[in-house]
Amino acid sequence: METRKELLVEHVCKSYRKNVALKDVSFQLEKGVYGLLGENGAGKSTLMRILTTVDFPTSGKVLYGGEDITKMDEAYRDLIGYMPQEYQVYPAFTAADFLNYMGVLKGVPKDRLKTKIPEVLEFVNLSDAAKKKVRTFSGGMKRRLGIAQAILNDPQILILDEPTAGLDPEERIRFSNILSNMGQEKIILLSTHIVSDIEAIASRLIVIKKGEIARTGTIDELVRQVDGMVWEAEMGQDMLQKLSLSRTVIHIRQTGDGAKIRFVGQPYPGMDCRRAAPCLEDYYMFAGERRSEQSK
């Protein structure tokens, strides 16, 4: 019987001397788009480096199709596409030359590169810049080129660390739509601290806090946890200060004589509040504050 191609993370820990980056991390990925959500320094990049064999766990293991990825070695790396958070490109290369170079390193046949390079440049909206030097690119263009090299070898596992950083709103929408389609045939894991990007792209979520898995589940499952607890109201500055002491305030928009706010929790006594439809940001902020309070 054929082994199901799952990526299984089992009790992974990672320490750098006295600094513990990951603590007993376990989860399973199948085909689909997964979001890895957490604040800066939560351990997202460390975990992604381990999943791509750029780094190795202090203890625990990662399996693909039941086989240890470190033992699979090159056979595993042929299956993955990776764009790290700090991605370096060669400024003297043109975009097309850079992708050709990366394709050769990945072992993509030259005949295949002739058709694949134009395809991925079109995907990331860089066709017009194919012959331009990378040194002339903006930060967002370099980010898109990083995405292009990650998908050059038609990977079965695509791992993207902060892929939407530097992309404009139109590019983000285009990127999220295509990535969602790709998730039907691939395992895709993308990390970000931008909650709206995760909500637009991923179907399932892994929340990581201080090196530990805080929660996993579908977006809908997590959002339902704050259903009926999200409110909008208008109030003066004095009332806002009182509310902030006992409720999780999500947004504040200042007005001429007060503020319009969105918060999670119970309605404040005597306040005119309107119930609002919950979103992932509401859950993430509320769950994060509750976890912080419990750890004190």
pLDDT in tens, 114-152: 999 999 999 888 999 999 999 999 888 888 898 899 999
Placement of tokens 């033992």 in the chain:
71
Query: Which residue, 287, 208, 279, 283, is CA-closest to 36?
Result: 208
Residue 187: alpha-carbon gap to chain centroid:
13
* Signed CA dihedral, 100, 155, 44, 25: sign only: negative
Cβ atoms within 10 Å of 223's Cβ, excluding its own: 21
Cα gap 179→23, rounded to integer Å: 30
Whether the CB-CB separation of 100 and 51 falls below 8 Å is answered with no
Task: Answer whether residue 182 shows pLDDT above 50.
Answer: yes
Phi and psi at residue 212, to the nearest 5°: -120, 150
SS3 (DSSP) at 64: strand
- For residues 239-260, give the mean pLDDT: 89
Nearest alpha-carbon partner for 206 in 289, 292, 280, 282: 280
Mean pLDDT of the chain: 88
Q: At residue 56, what is the residue type? A: F
Confidence of residue 289 (pLDDT cuts 50, 70, 90): low
193 vs 151, more confident: 151
Alpha-helix residue ranges (DSSP H) falling in the chain: 44-51, 69-72, 74-77, 95-106, 110-123, 139-150, 169-182, 195-201, 219-223, 237-246, 280-295
Is-contact 95 121, C-beta < 8 A? yes
Q: Taking 50 as the threshold, does the pLDDT of residue 295 lie above it?
A: no
- Tell me the C-alpha distance between 55 and 39, whole Å: 21
Reference 161, options 194, 135, 186, 127; nearest CA is 194
What would the pLDDT profile of 154-172 be if each residue is shown by its tens digit? Answer: 999 999 988 877 778 877 8
The string of pLDDT tens digits covering residues 24-81 is: 999 999 999 999 998 888 899 999 999 999 999 999 999 999 999 999 988 999 999 9
Angle at 7 between CA 5 and CA 10, to 5 degrees: 135
Q: What is the dihedral of CA 201, 205, 209, 213, to 10 degrees?
A: -150
What percent of the chain stands above pLDDT 90?
58
Render pLDDT for 77-102 as a digit per residue (tens, 0 to 9). Answer: 999 999 887 777 888 999 999 999 99
Longest dimension (CA), the chain: 71
9 Cβ partners below 8 Å, 6+ apart? 25, 26, 27, 28, 29, 47, 51, 60, 62
Residue 208 and residue 37 in contact, taking contact as beta carbons nearer than 8 Å = yes
Of the candidate ranges 13-22, 59-68, 189-198, 213-222, the one whose mean pLDDT is the lowest: 189-198
pTM of the model: 0.85
| Side-chain half-sphere CA neighbours of 183 within 13 A | 21
What 3-state class would DSSP assign to 284? helix
